[in-house]
Structure 1
Amino acid sequence: MRYHSTTTFITPTPGRSKSPKVTLAIFTSWARAEATGFIIKSYMVVQLTPSGSRGTWSQSQVSSGTRQVFIIPSAFPSTPASIESVIVQLKYPRQPVRRTEGQPLTLKCTVEYNKESCGSISVLWCLSLPENTCQPLTDPDRHLISINETIMSGKPMFRHRDAFVTFTQLSLKDIGLYQCNAVCQTTRSTAMGHLISVNVTGQDATTTTIFKGDTNDRCSVDLFLLTISIFILLWIHTL
């Protein structure tokens, strides 16, 4: 079954609360997708602005689309009253990560999911690419993958899964945005996490600084010895 809805936002003119300045109307056509969420079939955003003193309005289309977007409940914050309806939730830090080239790095993603509704689940870390795709981190020579799963206390139908990916030795090509994704194998419901930034600093700057320090010290010692040598030669010459 397909449903239609209209949402209107009114922005009042400053100092004249009864005279709206801009009105945005969002027309949405959507449908239920089993028990896992809903699909937006189409949408259109229309802007209405006053065009005269007689209360007339002019209408202009801001944006529209027919692309289907699948939305699952995990995209919204849960409350104790609605947690039973949540199928998949992803949890991991948002803070950027900074490391030095050659160091290891471990990223952790915690997934809470409904085993009864989701069935088996696939959880993976991936590298976000410019083409709006995400490349899974599955290279065994560079990435170590580990999974731990437990049953949530008091909720036998819910599972708690930790997905770890470890970079054994970071390089400059590991700089980028990373994301954790989860897919229910039964319903194909997908939860996509936020992007986190990984920045890797090269070791060249440190090496150069140390080398310069050694060179300066060596030059100072050589200059001191040369001065002492000249002084001794002059002293011998005066004897």
Structure 2
Amino acid sequence: MQIFHLTTAFLIMVVLCSQPTSLSAVSVIYPREPVTKTEGLLLSLKCTVRYKTEDCDIQTNWWQWNNSEPLQITDPNKYLITVNETETDEKRLRNIFLTFSSLNLQDSGFYQCDAKCLNSGTQAKGHLLRLNVTADPYKDLRVSTWSGQLKADAAALALSATLLLLLWCY
């Protein structure tokens, strides 16, 4: 009979130890894959912060890492940051979008989203997200209407074709 109690106690301990003790008050989630886009295009990066409503008065930020120095993204002329939230049971999900209206080569680098519970001081940071901005291969090409030279060349070609046709017929 004592073997049954030891086995039961062992199973209970294994189950309890395998369960998370508690969910973190705040967590940051976004894809790990690097992002590659061409300059001049629009791009939105999305970061989702999950937190417990009762435990956390939240503050969130996007950062750009240059030469190992984090720079908080705040320039409204270069970036648009939008936020929306949903609530499920005891948790809230805050989606923070960092939008580049027109990427340039200097936007290449590492970006990071973080969150902090102001009342408890609990923090969470996402991994560094790599953004590669590539040069636009068509940037310096211009689409133009026909120039005068092209019109003259087309007229000469048409005249030559007409003469060849007349000579062939006779």
Q: TM-score, normalised by structure 2?
A: 0.68
- How far residue 86 of structure 1 moved from its aligned partner, in angstroms, is 1.3
Contact 2:27 2:125 in 1 (8 A): no
Kindly indicate which of the two structures has a greater share of residues assigned to helix.
2
By how many angstroms is 1:116 displaced?
Answer: 2.5
Give the Cα separation in 2 of the matches to 1:197 and 1:188: 27
User: Which residue pairs with 1:94 in the alignment?
Assistant: 32
Q: Equivalents in 2 of 1:195, 1:206: separation in Å?
A: 30
Matched, 1:174 2:107: yes
Q: Of residues 151, 165, 168 in structure 1, which corresponds to 2:87?
A: 151
Render the CA deviation track for 1:81-123: whole Å, top value 9, x for unaligned: 3273311111101111111111111011011112323x21111
RMSD between aligned residues: 3.0
Q: Percent identity?
A: 36
**Alpha carbons of structure 1 residues 207 and 148: separation in structure 2 relative to 1, 3 Å:** closer
Higher RCO, 1 vs 2 (CA within 8 Å, ≥6 residues apart)? 2
The SS at the match of 1:206 is coil
Question: Aligned with 2:127: secondary structure?
Answer: strand
For residue 129 of structure 1, the aligned residue among 55, 66, 79 is: 66
5+ residue gaps, structure 2: 1-16, 144-149
3-state SS of 2:75 partner:
coil
Task: Report matched runs for 1:6-21 at 5 Å.
Answer: none
Partner of 2:43: 105
1:188-227 equivalences under 5 Å are 188-203=121-136, 205-207=137-139
Distance 1:138 1:179, change over 3 A: same
Higher share in strand? 1
CA spacing shift, 1:173–1:114, aligned 2, 3 Å: same
**3-state DSSP class of the match of 1:173?**
helix
1:138 aligns with 2:74: yes
Change (3 A) 1:207 1:109: closer
The TM-score normalised by the length of structure 1 is 0.50
Report the Cα distance in structure 1 between the residues aligned to 2:73 and 2:38, rounded to whole angstroms: 20
Q: How many residues align?
A: 138
Question: What whole-Å deviation, never above 9, does each CA across 1:53-97 have from its counterpart, x for those lacking one?
Answer: xxxxxxxxxxxxxxxxxxxxxxxxxx9932733111111011111
Whole-Å separation in 1 of the counterparts to 2:77 and 2:49: 26
CA distance in 2, matches of 1:87, 1:80: 19
Unaligned runs of 5+ in 1: 1-78, 212-217
Once the two structures are superposed, what CA deviation does each residue of 1:148-171 show, in whole Å capped at 9, x if it has no partner?
Answer: 112223xx2x22111111111111
Alpha carbons of structure 1 residues 208 and 141: separation in structure 2 relative to 1, 3 Å? closer
Deviation, structure 1 residue 210: 7.9
Change (3 A) 1:167 1:207: closer
SS of corresponding position for 2:138: helix
- Structure 1 residues 207 and 106, CA gap change in structure 2 (3 angstroms): closer
